[in-house]
Every structure is written in structure tokens, then in C-alpha cells.
Amino acid sequence: MNIALIAHDDKKDDLIRFVTAYKDIFKEHALYATGTTGKRLMEATKLPVHRFNSGPLGGDQEIGAKIARKEMEMVIFFRDPLTAQPHEPDVTALVRLCDVYSVPLATNMGTAEVLIRGMKYGLIDWVEEHKK
């Protein structure tokens, strides 16, 4: 499964802790991330991560393009709802694409944990079938 990992600046440490906690699950999948998030994830977990540009420089849009081509099966995006983001239209577009293409999206640790645990037990295998 192709999984996108994104985090706003104040949420990057949370995402790193999350991926580290579920490293045994994540290592079985292809990981994609926006710039700095991907770099920090690779350094902390030693997992291979394909890096796109940072979010403000188009990374969110690059992930959105993979969603539109049915090449991304899950998005974990730890958003910071308390800080204005200069690239908010890109974030909104990414969330909309997840809805349009029925791509599971977690925007916080609680939802991400439900998705990852569900993936571990095969409860979201429908995602693979849906992209065909």
C-alpha cells in the first residue's frame, strides 16, 4: 500500500513518534512524504521514504496528483488546526481529493491509529480493490 505522511511544523514530532511506534507495520508499505517531514522520518526510523517538495512548495499537490491517478491508498496528515498555513488552499484541495477518490485520511493521531490498526488486521483491504 502507498501511504502519504505529512505533518505541519508543530506536528512533525507527533508524526515521528507515531511512525516509530508502528514501524513494524509501516516497513511493509511504500512511504511518501513532503520534504522536511520525509527527511526527519528517514533519520528517525531508518525507513525508506520517497520525498516530495515541502508542502508550501507544492508537495501537497504532488501527493494530490498521485491520489488523482489512484496511486496513493492512504494519507496521514497531522494538521495544526491552531496555526494559519500559507498554503491552506493546497491542504484543502488534498483533503477534497481524498474525499473524491475515497482515500482514507487521518488528520490526527487518534484517527491514524484506527487506520493503522485496521490495516494491520486487513480491515481496509477494500482500498486495494477500489483503485482498480
- The SS3 call for residue 47 is coil
Amino acid at 32: Y
C-beta separation of 78 from 4 below 8 A = no
Q: Where are the alpha helices (DSSP H) in the chain?
A: 12-21, 23-26, 35-45, 59-68, 88-100, 109-120, 126-130
**Which residues are part of the catalytic machinery?**
60
Q: Which residues, in sequence order, are bridge partners of residue 36?
A: none
C-beta separation of 67 from 105 below 8 A = no
C-beta separation of 8 from 79 below 8 A = yes
